[in-house]
Structure 1
Amino acid sequence: MATAEHLKSLIKAHIEHDDERFKTVVLQIAAYEAKLGHETLARELKQYAGKVCTSKGNIFRFNQQNSMLLMTLPSDRLADLVVSKELLERIERILDEYRNRYRLEKYGLSNRRKILIEGKPGTGKTFTASVIASELNLPLYTVQMDKVVTKFMGETSTKLRQVFDSVATSTGVYFFDEFDAIGADRNLDNEVGEARRILNSFLQFIEQDISESIIIAATNNSKLLDQALFRRFDDVLHYSIPSEDEICRLFDLKLKSFNTNYCISHVLVEHAIGLSHAEIIHVCDDAIKDAILRNGVINDRLLAKFIDDRRSAYSTKDA
């Protein structure tokens, strides 16, 4: 049956007329019951959750208790995440350990739930956080860094404490994007005393955290981060520009729903080398929209045109 914390959360959500929160707790209970082998009950609870409110899918909503958090209920699946085999295995391990965290606890072990993701923009860091939340039936709380980091001394640390209070009381996946804003190396010459205090506060909060939430921090450059951060995370995932195989899989994944007969050529794959995951997805979306609006078809020439458009967008950019 539901835990005492689940029941308290349900009652609180009902009193505050927070339908989104109520639905989230019901889904958490369903996931809990499924892990106990109560599949029928879990299925019924999920059906009830679907009737709680009319909004569904990726609807963004600020947490009513904490405006620094933007909550979504993602529906992305692991099968849609195109990464290397090694990365996929490590993400599957994170999911497997979370689902079996109570078994691990019996042996005095804890599951991986503090994750650092490093990689160039557009390589799938944010999408990974969304996939992990969706696969575990958890809400995704994106930390609004512009609301956390302020110019007033001591205020950022206070706001970080409020974020970690939510981590402890509202189970979910908490995503810190652009993490360098609070995790920059304390030894950098341009780092002032307040920045060091912010990082020290984060180190303290993440080390003390023993909740069931998953914490994911993402950065475009791990070299900017303080070395003390790395031992606070259970796993570090390094993302890179897609390989030729990943490029093929991305094109296939995005185009097969629109044109099942199209088969990407090796020449086009080579032409796309160097683009990020996000840029290739944009190329596919542009090609699909063009084919729809012009009653045309998707072919190598059309895709090559949009690949060139993507490249030209950066060709005049000064470093």
Structure 2
Amino acid sequence: MATQEQIRALLESHAEGDDKRFTAVALQLAAQAARNGQSRFASELKHLVDSMRSSKNNLKTTTLDPDVQSSLGDISSYVSVSFPNAKLSELVLSEQVRGSIQRLLLEQQQRDNLKLHGLCPDSHVLLVGPPGTGKTSTARVIAGELNLPLYTVRLETVISKYMGETAAKLKAIFDFAAISRGIYFFDEVDALAVKRTAENDVGEMRRVLSSFLQFMEEEATESIILAATNNPQLLDPALFRRFDLIIEYGLPDSKGVKSLIQNRLANASFSRIAWSKICEDAFNLSPAEICLAAEDAAKDVILSGREKITTEDLSSALAHRRSIMIHYAK
């Protein structure tokens, strides 16, 4: 039931024409109703909010209003919300990864058509690959392409040492996802779903994993659940069966290295670049590391008063980035 403060906030925001605050409080009420078992009322209220957002085109924004974060209610302390406008064309990806993302977007865009034929779009997706290969960027792109909010789950605040608390927080997140369509991103999901073995048989973590698996199995919602891991070998085998789609990310090939640098330094001037050497120097570096090296090279050119980036600038920056990674990998 709505509290006096929530009713007051609804009336004040309506009188002041503050649509963002009004919808934020309305979403709080919908989430509260869902947790109280009033799923029909929660769904109706969420539909009204979505209609209001659509008519006023308030969803597409790049800044986060404090009232939007407060709309998360009880889960606001361990879930953050943003509204990315990233596009798939901005990412340098392998054809296989790009194709998988395009298929996911297409299924979501035609989800009503699929349902008419008794089919459901993929909505549970696992992103697998080394750090810096584009998994987090993919979450932003999917949210941006579908014009949906991105809810990022901060697992360090979800996981608790107290019995039952982690599972309760997970339930609150999935309850909210059931009535608030969006992209729900669980990064480093191996913290929740580590493989069950005799060596790590901790009762509470087994219960957490069981709860997570159960929530993943529940009736599909309009939301998309994204999970990412750098260490798939740590995940419990049962988790893989809960995902409709698994996308594997790898390190860039020569074509990818060149595209990454050219895209990142699109406004820079280059001298004649020996791309074969640059690709050799970038071998086994992640896209994130290559982009950082490209930025370092561009900064060196600007600070030295020169106008064009040379092969030596890029090669030196890549070598420096590699030395850093080797040093901290020890």
TM normalised by structure 1 equals 0.82
Identity %: 39
Alignment of 1:181-192 (within 5 A): 181-187=191-197, 189-192=199-202
**Post-superposition shift, 1:266?**
1.5
**Residues 49 and 138 of structure 1: is their aligned pair in 2 closer, same or farther, counting only changes over 3 Å?**
closer
Which residue number in structure 1 is paired with residue 38 of structure 2?
Answer: none
TM normalised by structure 2 equals 0.80
Which residue number in structure 2 is paired with residue 105 of structure 1?
Answer: 115
* Distance in 1 (alpha carbons) for counterparts of 2:120 and 2:90: 28
CA-to-partner distance for each residue in 1:115-138, whole Å, 9 max, x for gaps? Answer: 001111111110111111100001
* Distance in 2 (alpha carbons) for counterparts of 1:309 and 1:168: 47
**Post-superposition shift, 1:188?**
5.2
| Residues 63-72 or 108-117, more deviating | 63-72
Which residue number in structure 2 is paired with residue 160 of structure 1?
Answer: 170
Report if aligned partners of 2:181, 2:223 keep a CA contact under 8 Å in 1: yes
1:311 aligns with 2:312: no
**Post-superposition shift, 1:29?**
5.2
Report if aligned partners of 1:28, 1:137 keep a CA contact under 8 Å in 2: no
Query: Which amino acid in structure 2 is aligned with residue 19 of structure 1?
Result: K
**Aligned residue pair count:** 292
Match of 1:282 among 275, 281, 292: 292
**Post-superposition shift, 1:241?**
1.1
**Post-superposition shift, 1:31?**
10
Which residue number in structure 2 is paired with residue 19 of structure 1?
Answer: 20
Which residue number in structure 1 is paired with residue 239 of structure 2?
Answer: 229
1:57 aligns with 2:68: no
CA-to-partner distance for each residue in 1:170-210, whole Å, 9 max, x for gaps? Answer: 11101000100101112252131111100100111111142
- Structure 2: 5+ residue runs without aligned partners? 1-9, 28-45
* Distance in 2 (alpha carbons) for counterparts of 1:126 and 1:60: 22
1:119 aligns with 2:129: yes
Alignment of 1:27-176 (within 5 A): 45-46=56-57, 56-57=61-62, 59=64, 63-64=69-70, 65=73, 66-67=75-76, 68-176=78-186
* Distance in 2 (alpha carbons) for counterparts of 1:237 and 1:86: 9
* Distance in 2 (alpha carbons) for counterparts of 1:12 and 1:307: 58
- Structure 1: 5+ residue runs without aligned partners? 1-10, 33-40, 51-55
**Residues 278 and 203 of structure 1: is their aligned pair in 2 closer, same or farther, counting only changes over 3 Å?**
same
Query: Which amino acid in structure 1 is aligned with residue 324 of structure 2?
Result: A
* Distance in 1 (alpha carbons) for counterparts of 2:219 and 2:162: 25
| Residues 67-76 or 285-294, more deviating | 285-294
Which residue number in structure 2 is paired with residue 291 of structure 1?
Answer: 301
